[in-house]
Amino acid sequence: MNKTTKIYIAGHRGMVGSAIWRALEAKGYTHLIGKTSKELDLKSQPEVADFFECEKPEVVIDAAARVGGILANNNYPYQFLMENMQIQNNLIDSSLKADVAKFIFLGSSCIYPKLAPQPLKEEYLLTGPLEPTNEWYAIAKITGVKACEAIRKQFGKDYISLMPTNLYGTHDNFDLTTSHVLPAMIRKFHEAKQPQLSMLSEVEADKEHLPVTLWGSGTPMREFLFVEDLADAVVFALENKFQDNLYNVGTGVDLTIKELAELIQKTVGHTGEIIWDSSKPDGTPRKLMDVSKMTDAGWKAKVGLEEGIKRTYEWFLENQENFKEVKL
């Protein structure tokens, strides 16, 4: 790796891809390649093959995926399975055929079994049933992990998979139909603050905040990673040679969804009631990552959850008119 290495970031306009792009630019990398979905359909094998033939990237970072929360996964299982497999298969296979030196595949902690021991170790992959509400996405990502592992084993190439825990941050998706839990909460609490509050006294304003209804019981535990920390981990993986093919990326710290809601509520300044709709699914009871392999390799997360939520909400306030809405 050097500062002029030709690096293709698939999904460079998404939350993860754009954070990686900014991180690489900040470190002085000057030959970054990005294509929008209109310029390159990653689901099309011929288009992807032609792109690799023309551009000849030396390094590929796969940050492209169809993503979403429990509702989106439940409602669109075929798209979450097939489109993710198409995207990653085309990128991985074209990279191998084009003799790409290094490939970083980004997945998700949902690849691990629903009831796997906690914290989740890389070795728990494929040891039990998946969480039903997102198994379609998880199965797709597992095939990507195994494809990179197979290439590493058969061809000796430096293809690795990084499995981040639940991500959030600037440029996130705040569409309530398809977003993940943290950005969805930010938007819900924000919109529950009445626009006319500026005309009321502080005491009156507190009484005027609408209640916010959230899914589930609030008891599941989750770990959250600020997207800039993931970008930093990707850069670290680019600049170092890892011994294994699969690494968890997270903070190693979790909290209940109820505690998360109260932290976001405080950050947003919402003072109304929180109502828990227990008729809606909770998902996996706990998903805490064992990040000891990344720690041993020399990397650890830097941004605390409270700081990360504050920075995410500030970005949301500045971008309410054009934040990302996902259309299925």
Residue 281 known to bind ligand: no
The 3-state DSSP class for residue 166 equals strand
Q: Which residues of 28-43 are buried (b: 16+ CB within 10 A; e: fewer)?
A: ebeebbbbeeeebbbb
Task: Tell me the HSE value of 11 on the side-chain side, using a 13 A CA sphere.
Answer: 23
Which tokens sit at 7? Answer: 């690096």
Residue 75 assigned ligand-binding role: no
Is 217 labelled as part of a ligand binding site?
A: no
Question: Is 144 annotated in some ligand binding site?
Answer: no
Does 195 show up as a binding residue in the annotation? no
Considering 29, 137, 247, 313, which one is annotated as catalytic? 137
Q: Is 34 annotated as a binding residue?
A: no
What b-and-e string marks burial along 216-244, b requiring 16 or more CB atoms within 10 Å of the CB? bebebbbbbbbbbbbbbbbbbbbeeebee
Q: Write b or e for each residue in 12-24: b if 16 or more Cβ atoms lie within 10 A of its Cβ, otherwise e.
A: bbbbbbbbbbebb
Known binding residue 256? Answer is: no
Q: How much of the chain is helix, strand and coil, in % rounded to 5?
A: 45, 15, 40
Tell me, yes or no, if 137 is annotated catalytic: yes
15 is in an annotated binding site: yes
84 is in an annotated binding site: no
Give the burial string for 196-209 (b: 16+ CB within 10 Å, else e).
eeeeeeeeebeeeb
* Residue 285 labeled ligand binder: no
Q: What DSSP string runs through 119-151?
A: SBPGGGTTSSPPPGGGHHHHHHHHHHHHHHHHH
Question: Binding residue per annotation — 90?
Answer: no
283 annotated as a binding-site residue: no
Tell whether residue 215 is among the known ligand binding residues.
yes
- Residues at the binding site for NADP(+) are 11-17, 106-109, 141, 164-167, 180
Task: Please identify every residue annotated as catalytic.
Answer: 137
- Residues at the binding site for substrate are 188, 215, 222, 282
- Residues at the binding site are 11-17, 106-109, 141, 164-167, 180, 188, 215, 222, 282
